[in-house]
Structure 1
Amino acid sequence: MTSSKLQFKIGKMKSINKATLIQLSKNLRALNKTAGAQFERELMLTRVKIAKVVNDDKTIDLLEILVVDCEVLHSKLHQLLCNSDDEGTLKLVRELMYASSYINIKEFKKLVALLAHKYGKDFYENALNHPDNPDIIHKCNSDNVDSLTERYLQEICDCYQIDLKNEKQNSSMPNNEEADSTLKNEDNLDDLRRRFNALRN
């Protein structure tokens, strides 16, 4: 049940982010035709929206790890019930407990609450304060959101051929060509997602 809820959340967030990226590409094209204070204001708002995409992508990465953890834990249910000291099981439990501070999904919270009850308060607090999976720590860490936002912005501009700094000669194009280009690059959204994945890893 918990795994399916996580997968549902992943699918929903990916769909929202896809729609957001398409809209951002259109907004950036429109922004490219402005200047001065309006340009700076709209660019700042765009960065805020991209930062939301970055945070959502990091959450999706974390959820995908947790889906696997939950499925593995389910396969170890017998060990969990009969042998609480199995190191592999303990590692999974610690990961789930640590991630619970960053994931607001009711079913997942319930699972962690049950595990906390089984293993005790000291074990739970130790899992929260002393995580031992660098990958999960990285996914939960928000320190690099600003730098990723700038890199996402650059990747979007590169993918959709948007010249925000007006560095290219004759960067403007007829409306029909621009529309065709937008449609073409929407088809390349998967490539943009792969670029984003590479930036986060």
Structure 2
Amino acid sequence: MARILLAFFNRDYRQIAQLHVDCGWLPADTKVHEFEAAIRGVSEPIFSKPLAEISFAQVLLGLFQTARRFNMQVQPQLVLLQKTMLNIEGLGRQLYPQLNLWETAQPILEQWFKRQVSPKQVYLQLKQEWPDLAQQLPHLPGLIHAALQQAARPLPPLHISTEAPKEKGHWSGLIGLMLFIGAAVLHPIPLLDQVWVAPASVLLGLAGMLVLWNRGNH
């Protein structure tokens, strides 16, 4: 969400659209350039305008219409953010109607974002999540070993008409098991902090390579 908001202030609509797809908030078959154009059409008219000339109600209406058009999953944090924008509009019109929200908020947002991804913040987040992660890690070698043993077992004789689907099902089950292993390890980790997933992803990738190598030698 922070990256989307920062991209919004930077008027990087392409990144906004791609982040929505990457986060799973839009269907995978969404045409990114079409969503980019829709967001641009809603957002661009309000930039560089003072608060007195901006109607966030109209902006939000346009955003919700865009969300419905592209079958977007509206996130609760996005609704809270939009509610905050309306509060800012109301208070800002009373205190300082000529305030340029973009020039004022952008440097503050950039500083906050840099703090969130700083090495210190990464360490603090890892320290906070480590107890949950540590409980899952001891089970990972055993699960990988079980998956490798399952893959090493000889398959029944292959028959074109009946057994081929079973072989396909065997591979699908194995891949699903390995994905489940990764999900069990990565579950407690926030999606935004992708840096934490590297060690578990490497182990999972190595397991997959070993399975493929083992199957290739049979």
**The two structures share one fold, judged by TM-score above 0.5:** no
* Structure having the higher Rg: 2
Larger RCO: 1 or 2 (CA < 8 Å, sep 6+): 1
Q: How high is the TM-score relative to the length of structure 2?
A: 0.29
Q: How high is the TM-score relative to the length of structure 1?
A: 0.31
